[in-house]
Structure 1
Amino acid sequence: MKKIAACVVTYNRKVKLMRCLDSLRKQTAEGLDIIVIDNASTDGTEQELKTLISSGAIKYFNTGKNLGGAGGFYTAIKYAAPKYEYIWIMDDDTYPESDALKELLNAVKLLNDDFGFLSSVVKWRDGSFCKMNRPWLGEDFYEHILAIENGLIPVVEGSFVSMFVKSDTVKKKGLPIPEFFIWGDDAEYSMRLADLGGYLVPKSRVLHDMEENDSIDVTTTDYRRVTRYRYYLRNRIYIAKEHHDFKKVIKYHLSCGKQILRVLLHAKDHRLLRMVTILRGFFESLFFNPQIEYLDK
């Protein structure tokens, strides 16, 4: 079994993907294979990668259709887990610093290989911390004193913008849920692994090349992308249900009305589209119940 697979999911962002791959190839740690999962890009991604593929610098898989980020990560981890000890997961607009992997491996050693997942610190273009990729801190710090003394921070939720997991953990806890399509798949997966120990590794740093450093907002986002918001709402309600956090379920339900009102009062365009998107997310959440798939099935 080989040691580490860096799994990158891409869709129609070949310029950013090439920069991501360049960052991965410059890692100071050894033993890294690079796997690209292409969600059937139409911008010439495969042609752009032709030299890297033919030289063996990367492994390339085309899914044949756009499975979303969730489907892409599901595909990547399902492929990599039986073949590698560790899996380093990231989007195509993630650019790791040259020692990012080395610092993750230092954390593995410090923890004696006893962890559920590790996350890198995610920064935006201007050096500020990326708002969408801030992990949730754990509450029971006393169980993690040794890790804290050595600079690691206990967390209960992480992001697929640089998440590091063991293949043995995947075999125990299952695969990411592909039906999520986008948004929340990393939250659900990391929360599933968190009982084995989740940690933020401050010395492992990546840049997330998002267009804006902001959270998801159905009122202000570009109307051409707004229909995707239903996945965010649906998936977050599902996660709350699965964790029996019914206060949060009620909170999300009530927020639908608040968001519709906010759209009516503040949206600059396409109010009907935005309101329908909110309602679709709410109604889809009532029946959304995907099952976790395990590698041995």
Structure 2
Amino acid sequence: MSHPEEIATCVVTVTYGERVPLLARVLRAAFQCGARYAVVVDNGTPATSKKALVDLQNELGREAMEIIALPRNEGSAGGFHAGLRRVAQLRDMRFVWVLDDDNLPEENALSVLMDRWTQLGAHETDAMMCFRKEKRAYRKVLVRKTLHWVEPDAFFDFNLAHLWNGGKRRAHIEKGCIELGVAAYGGLWFARAWLDRIALPPERFHLYFDDYAFSRQIPEHGGRIWLCPDSRLNDIDISWQVNRDEIHPWLEPTTEERRIFCTIRNRLWLERPVVRSRSLHMVNMALYLGVKVIGANLGAMARRFRSAPVFVRRFRLIGRAIRAGLS
């Protein structure tokens, strides 16, 4: 079995707003897991958080944590772009462990990743991914054993072609790990050498799917990403998409419009390079919107009839985001 002390691992994370208390819990746990160093991107935090970050750096040790301060919030794309660019320069770090500032690792999260990586052959082309039970896509992977990737012609994984092509591709499973085609930032562990071969996260994405745009380069360049169910992270903050069973998050009146716009636009940016049939892609988009966004939420919208003006604005916003994503 490999142990954390045998493989120098650097954590890279991004924080913003007043989230340093969450970050502090995450970093303490990461170091207890065996991480050697941490690069923390201060994504335009207020003065109180800047002071809290310095206090945290003093607690953990300046030899263990460095802060990269951005003058304004550049979103996850800009933040992780800056953090990973810095990690690429740390030649004494062999591996990178990407964590969101609210991904709390369980005690053995890192050692389990390393153990499974060793069992898979200890190839630096293999990247590992922690399991987050709060992440719906990973729960589906465990149940269905299908490949989580950016499927050609699908829109948000919805593909009419599954009616005649046998459905989603089965995922390769080895040593208890399930292969992924893309991965989120939170929990991704990979060799630092990958940063010499692939592009950093695309800053123009600002928010959402920049992690998929970054991580999918690993299989595109001959590597593999493995989801490790036994290496667990717990999200200690609530996602804006958590109540999707009640109403689709794009229609939830309290959801920030920028989040919806970036989610839809960026997903289309992600999908466009793998579209083989533009007509099928457009049909899938129309069906997704008609069935999953409108049809499945008619009852919820009717119960919230006083929010009708909000729903009208949301549909207009969705239209703008689609046009931006296709342009």
Q: TM-score, normalised by structure 2?
A: 0.74
Instruction: Output one character per residue of 1:99-137: Cα deviation in whole Å (capped at 9) or x when no partner.
Output: 11111222332232243431101024xxxxx32555754
Alignment match of 1:177 (pick from 164, 181, 202): 202
Once the two structures are TM-superposed, the CA of residue 245 in structure 1 deviates from its matched residue by 4.9
Q: CA 1:222/1:257 → structure 2, altered by over 3 Å: closer, same or farther?
A: same
Q: What amino acid maps onto 1:47 in structure 2?
A: K
Structure 1 CA distance, aligned partners of 2:281 and 2:124?
30
8 A contact 1:118–1:201 mirrored in 2: yes
Cα displacement string for residues 191-245 of structure 1 (whole angstroms, at most 9, x for unaligned residues): 222241110112210001232535562112514x133211111111111111225
Structure 1 residues 249 and 123, CA, compared in 2 at 3 Å: closer, same or farther?
same
**Residue 47 of structure 1, aligned match among 22, 44, 51:** 51
Q: Equivalent residue for 2:262?
A: 231
Residue 252 (structure 1) aligns with: 285
CA shift, 1:68, in A, is 0.6
Are residues 1:19 and 2:19 paired?
A: no
Contact 1:9 1:72 in 2 (8 A): yes
Cα deviation for residue 86 of structure 1 reads 1.4
For 1:209-228, what aligned pairs fall within 5 Å after superposition? 209-211=236-238, 213-214=242-243, 217-220=249-252, 222-223=254-255, 225-228=256-259
Q: 2:321 is matched with which residue: 269, 275, 281? A: 281
Deviations 1:84-106 (A, max 9, x none): 32111111111001211111222
Rg comparison, structure with higher value: 2
Aligned to 2:102, which of 83, 93, 100? Answer: 93
CA contact (8 A) 1:263 1:271 kept: no
Displacement after TM superposition at 1:64 (Å): 1.0
1:82 aligns with 2:75: no
| Alpha-carbon distance change, 281 to 264 in structure 1, aligned in 2, over 3 angstroms | farther
2:236 corresponds to 1:205: no
- The residue type paired with residue 109 of structure 2 is A
For residues 197 and 235 of structure 1, what CA distance do their matches in structure 2 show? 23
Query: CA distance change for structure 1 residues 214 and 163 in 2, over 3 Å: closer, same or farther?
Result: farther
Residue 106 of structure 1 corresponds to: 115
Partner of 1:122: 132
1:271 to 2:316 alignment: no
Letter in 2 for 1:70: A
| Cα distance in 2 for residues equivalent to 1:140 and 1:256 | 26
Structure 2 residue runs without a partner (length 5+): 1-6, 148-168
Q: How many residues align?
A: 273
Which of residues 54, 65, 72 in structure 2 aligns to 1:65? 72
1:170 aligned counterpart, secondary structure: helix
Separation in structure 1 between the aligned mates of residue 129 and residue 184 of structure 2, nearest angstrom: 7
Any idea what the Cα deviations from partners look like across 1:115-167, whole Å, max 9, x if unmatched?
A: 3431101024xxxxx325557543465xx56xx1x222112122112111222
Compute the TM-score of the two structures, normalised by the length of structure 1: 0.81
Amino acid at match of 2:51: Q
User: Which is further off, 51-60 or 79-88?
Assistant: 51-60
Cα pair distance change 1:167/1:256, threshold 3 Å: same
Structure 1 44/261 Cα, relative in aligned 2: closer, same or farther at 3 Å? Answer: farther
Distance in 1 (alpha carbons) for counterparts of 2:182 and 2:44: 29
Which residue does the alignment assign to 1:294?
A: none
Distance 1:91 1:245 in 2: 33
Q: Secondary structure at the match of 2:67?
A: strand
Residue segments in structure 1 that go unaligned for 5+ positions in a row? 125-129, 288-297
What CA distance in whole angstroms lies between the structure 1 residues aligned with 2:186 and 2:313?
29
1:242-269 deviation per Cα after TM superposition (whole angstroms, max 9, x unaligned): 1225434542355456646878874433
* 1:98/1:32 CA distance change after superposition, 3 Å: same
Q: Are 1:135 and 1:158, in contact at CA under 8 Å, matched by a contact in 2? A: no
**Letter of the aligned partner of 2:97 in structure 1?**
W
